[in-house]
Homo-oligomer: A and B are copies of this chain.
Amino acid sequence: MSPRVRIADVAAAAGVSTATVSRTLSSPGLVGEKTRERVMAAVSATGYRINAAARDLRRQQPRAILVLAPNLANTFFSRIIAAIQDVARQAGLAVQISDSRAGTDVLEAIVQSGRADGIVLLDGALPPDMVRNWTLPVIQLCEWNDGYALPGLRIDNAAAARVAVDHLAALGHERILHVSGPAENVLSQARQAGFREAMTARGLPADIHDGGFTIEAGAAAAHVWAAMADRPTAVFTASDECAFGFISECYRLGFEVPRDVSVIGFDDVDFAGHFIPPLTTIHQPRARLGRQAAERLVSALLEDAPLGEGYDQIPPHLVIRSSTTAYRAKTQGGSAA
């Protein structure tokens, strides 16, 4: 189309200076009503849109936030990012997303490009030395790393593991297996520690199988479980996906859930309630996590105040569905092994 309309074009059309156009757009209160009307008319007539690069350069702030997540293809993040996007939009900030595993050089270039005012970091496994050197405000979300020394937000993962154990124990289960996430992941570690602690507090043995967050890890764990001499009557998995894989594979092996084994997942993804059986799981309020983290970051940016130091922890919430049931003394259930 026509070459871009600049502020000078609008000023000419309205018969005012560019300063007045700029003020009309950013602080209408400073401009006389008649002038304002003339300017707005000129803006519509010309189809003027502010040039973000020029504004950013002049204001020395890009009005954008950067979301850094490991593996953007992971569906866990989509709802979180949608919530961040929503908060940012309402505050007039753009959202840029990048894969945090892109490589440190790439990441440094992105972070230091001056294109973002602040960062939401969903990855706890970046080099602490790099992250500590970032000069923008950063808020950690879900995952974390003490080496970053940053404020953040997450659910209380250890407490969540305790709630899971409480639920199973109340149902009479005493042999409980925890299929953990990847060993190097902070979430895995916190949940595993919470599990161990809750079991120990009850005087129960804490069986742990190093698993993973994936369907495949869950399916593999089913074989491990099935081969155990004195099979645990309940399993607490690292994630819903892991639980799905575990349950599906149990079914193939001739076992049924919860008849032969009760299963608790983690995350409460959209599908958890529709699975067969509907999955008992720890709910992660993804929209809330995204929104709350974004709000904290955005308000710090707008007020030009520091982010603060605290780590907000959301208390865990167990959603009880049908994959867990009361322990029944050995029924010789399961048609195979």
Residues of A within 8 A of B (CB): 1, 4, 49-54, 56-57, 62, 64, 71-75, 77-79, 81-82, 85-86, 89, 94-99, 102, 106, 108-110, 112-115, 133, 135, 215, 219, 244-245, 248, 251, 270-271, 274-276, 287
Contacts and interface: CB of A to CB of B under 8 A. Distances in A.
Contacts of A53: 52-54, 56-57, 62, 114-115
A98 B89 contact: yes
A50 B110 CA distance: 10
A57 B62 contact: no
**Oligomer: number of copies:** 2
Nearest to A287: B73
10 contacts: A50-B113, A51-B113, A52-B114, A53-B54, A72-B81, A72-B82, A74-B78, A94-B115, A219-B274, A248-B275
A109 B219 CA distance: 48
Contacts of A86: 99
A95 B94 contact: no
Given A94-B98, A245-B274, 19 more contacts: A1-B133, A49-B114, A52-B53, A52-B62, A52-B113, A53-B54, A53-B56, A78-B78, A81-B97, A89-B102, A94-B96, A94-B110, A94-B113, A95-B98, A96-B96, A215-B270, A215-B271, A248-B276, A271-B271
A307 to B, nearest CB: 16
A53 B51 CA distance: 10
A4 B56 CA distance: 15
Contacts of A109: 49
A54 B51 contact: no
B73 A82 contact: yes
A33 B215 CA distance: 53
B274 A114 contact: no
A72 B78 contact: yes
B51 A72 contact: no
- Which of A52, A53, A81, A86 has the largest count of B CB atoms less than 10 A from its CB? A53
A72 B287 CA distance: 12
A112 B244 CA distance: 44
